[in-house]
Structure 1
């Protein structure tokens, strides 16, 4: 064998395995596994590679499962069923004790004066009571708490009369020291003293507009005063004995006065002339008062009777009997359907108007020097000769 041929044979034997290994790599090239790496692309892989990417999908499904707890809020909404609680509060008005009281029941007793009471008058709004006493003072009481608010001192004699101005800013008092004092409310400070009467002042009353004050005195005169400056406007004469009471009609047209001359007199406020003399009582006329509509006047007397008169005609409409001693005070209820009277016989009586039928008798165990109704008509206030004030429930059940 020639040498070149032998060399070629040896080279072919050496190169053959190498060629075989090189031939395997080209067949492996089709495995561009990079194309499988592209499988994560969303479009081609949904069916084939879904199993492999599942770990990546898991995060997206977790929020979806977390959303299932959202139905929980509806279970919280039933808490709104507690809202019916407010309706349970509305019945509270029915809890007011008013219906619990019995007709004629004594509600309270106020004490503070050291002398007997002459008058006890409520402010127009019914929130404050002013009591005038023989102890020379006026006490202001809070009706809601039944506590004293202030004591007004200044008169040197018994305080026989007290009256509120319609706007509740001024209080007038009359005294056995022959003077009238005006007080600023609610401070209770003295504004001025009106002097002119020559004997004790037994009654005072404001005009409905609050600009004028009338006073009645033991000197047998009525005097009309300007509230703004205290000047005397007019002196009215006609009574022949001392004047025990005076009142101004709610419509502002009339004054009424009661006297120890046994008469009741009506005066026109347009002219301040005496227009009517009402005769019928057989003894001293003590209290006088108008009905709320100004159509009637009630009077009480030492003869033990209460009489009701027509303002228009001056005629006597009713004579009410039942008290055993002199009648010290009279007052109409706010609706004008009931008349109250207080007497030295230690009783206060209620009468139906216009029939005159007796309705109720309460017994405060002292002379009922003064009677008045609260603005709602439910309570009767009695000022007593022993210095006490008693409140009574007078709303029929």
Structure 2
């Protein structure tokens, strides 16, 4: 609340040369009777301040990247976590040990009551428990970055994540409770003074109070995000949000703001503009929304959100308060930039991301049912699951499936894109792009590239006529084309300040020239090609957005012709292969290296064929080393599929061996599907013993196992067609 309610500035402390990213307090002791305030910064240092001076009492140096979290334990022990993927333990201003084991940035850290036991949470989706400098246990369960940790007791702790869930863990490794209620990333969590109840806050601009394992209150703030939340000793809650305001909430009438200030706060919340595709609001069709009379019906749970259309045609969002038994306005809903009737941003529903969350009216007078749907799903399968989940009659199947097909027109099948904060730097929400091209064959909707929708036509006999096969052989190359120019440029500008002067680029040049390079069919200038080469010389810890520019440039026929010509082409493949196959390289570089090599096929198929054996061997070895990386296995499968398409019938013994080898790694369903299509293409017009080779490698068993996969149906159907060749 923007008002004076009893807090005032004592003095301003300075000492850092960049943003402050975290803060914690050291309790008073004999040396510092008022305690110390610790701050971690993007300048890679930790400063300690006392209330007696505006200057830092001491500074701790040792991290090589942003200090992202701080915690204090017994005897003045300090735990710091950093984007450099390490945590450090300090005592008496000296570095005692470095904790190494996380694969990506560390976002959270806490010290347990038991002496020497510490917790760290990371963008690698795991939590690690450390004792005496060694990792004692790794906790797995979150499906996205772990953003916050809170200790409940010597045997229990809480974690929150970008996957919109909160988990309660035992130190023995078991997750004993999952709390769902937020509709987007959860950035912060704090325990109330009773040691069991807690509060959480995040990207959905809500502050939630959890008591007895249930959300008992939801407070919305007039800001885009709530970045942090803490609990004071008196039970009050303080939240810091993206509008630069810290607000304190209390249950004590004696500490509450005046009625005037409370009314001003409610007006700020009510007048806040909410994007039309934010959180669980999903894609909005104003004509389908109820009018204000819907607010006469009580809500089902505290924090429930409802949208209504006003007589003027505007859309307003309301939240149900169980304590006050009323709907309170939380904002005006506006359409998101770039939205269209046929596209939607990712929508979180029951803790998972979907491309669409449809509202299905089944019975008049009852609220619509939610149908979550991803564009990689088969509409008939999604419809069947919807009927099963809601115990509806099978007679609705065609109607629901046709509704999905009609309302999801024009989308393409691609890898799912999570809207997570960048796990490598924590900056803008940028993930190195992924996706695939689109196209169709023989008048059929292509089940691989997703031009239009592919609908199964019933059970398929194991012995299928090849003329009826809509899966293989493929003749077109698959590339990773999804792009987000704004995010890529923003990340390049952010990293530009961290590279040496020789490789630094003026910001105005960066913005204009890179944006030009990212445009479809843009004819690049010599200066732009030199700029790209300069960006690719950046250090490996910041080069991944430059690799994303290269990935997209390879999809532009004009730029690709220059990149893949006789002079530069071999050097390009050498560089990408060295980058992608390096066992010690970071995940983003490896992934983008293989995706870029997939895209080389668009203009440089002869170049890739000339290096086929070498590239395929390196890709197989990398997949074996990183077999738990689902996105990497999809990229590997795509590379093998492109080699199959480039080689026509046969396509090379090494490609057959590699395809079967990666299939044996049991990748996820999308990678499995691409490998099946690749194998089918390789074996289609077999004239060199490829079928016999595949059989000898055990392909028949692997393909037979894939015939039992029901979600998505394309996997089993493709496998059935392939079985007829291997019989």
TM-score class normalised by the smaller sequence? 0.5 to 0.7
Q: How does 1:93-132 map to 2 (within 5 A)?
A: 108-109=1-2
2:161 and 2:185 in contact (8 A); partners too: yes
Distance in 2 between residues matched to 1:317 and 1:380, nearest whole Å: 26
State the 1:384 CA deviation: 0.9
Q: Distance in 1 between matches of 2:122 and 2:166?
A: 14
The whole-number CA distance in structure 1 between the counterparts of 2:195 and 2:2 is 26
- CA gap 1:249/1:382 in 2 versus in 1, 3 angstroms: same
1:253 shift after superposition: 4.2
Correspondence list, 1:262-277, <5 A: 262-268=125-131, 271-277=132-138
Matched with 1:374 is: 232
Map of 1:314 onto structure 2: 173
Higher helix share: 2
- Structure 1 or 2: larger strand share? 1
Give, in angstroms, the shift of residue 152 of structure 1. Answer: 1.2
Does residue 249 of the first structure (1) align with residue 112 of the second (2)?
yes
Q: Could you tell me which of 98, 107, 120 is aligned with 1:235?
A: 98
Offset from partner CA, 1:198-220 (integer Å, 9 cap, x none)? 1100011111322x211100000
- Is the alpha carbon distance of 1:350 and 1:222 closer, same or farther for their aligned partners in structure 2, counting shifts above 3 Å? same
The structural deviation recorded for 1:295 is 2.7
Quickly say closer, same or farther: Cα 1:316–1:147, change in 2 above 3 A: same
Q: TM-score, normalised by structure 2?
A: 0.33
Structure-1 residue corresponding to 2:215: 358
Q: Given the alignment, which residue of 330, 347, 350 partners 2:189? A: 330
Matched residue SS, 2:208: strand
CA contact 2:104–2:123 (8 Å) conserved in 1? yes
Segment of structure 1 superposing worse, 238-247 or 176-185: 176-185
- Displacement after TM superposition at 1:371 (Å): 1.1
Distance 2:44 2:6 in 1: 34
Higher relative contact order, chain-length normalized (CA < 8 Å, sep 6+): 1
- 1:220 pairs with 2:85: yes
**1:163 CA displacement:** 1.0
Equivalent residues in 2 for 1:115-194, closer than 5 Å: 145-167=6-28, 168-194=34-60
- The 2-side partners of 1:276 and 1:351 are apart by 27
1:277 shift after superposition:
0.8
Provide the secondary structure at the position in 2 that maps to 1:275. Answer: strand
Matched residues in 2 for 1:259 and 1:224: separation? 17
**Residue ranges of structure 2 left out of the alignment (5+ in a row):** 29-33, 254-322, 324-727
3-state SS in 2 of match to 1:152: coil
Q: Aligned residue pairs: how many? A: 248
- Deviation per CA, 1:234-285: give whole Å up to 9, x if none: 00101000001111124544211110000011112xx122111111100111
User: Mind listing any 5+ residue stretches in structure 1 that lack a counterpart?
Assistant: 1-107, 112-143
Say which of 309, 317, 341 aligns to 2:200: 341
CA RMSD of aligned residues (A): 2.0
Q: Could you say which residue in structure 2 is the equivalent of 1:8? A: none
On the 8 A contact 2:88/2:95 being kept in 1, the answer is: yes
Cα pair 2:14 2:55 within 8 Å, conserved = no
- 4+ residue runs of structure 1 moved beyond 2 angstroms? 108-111, 184-189, 249-254, 394-397
Compute the TM-score of the two structures, normalised by the length of structure 1.
Answer: 0.59
- Aligned partners of 2:207 and 2:226 also within 8 Å: yes
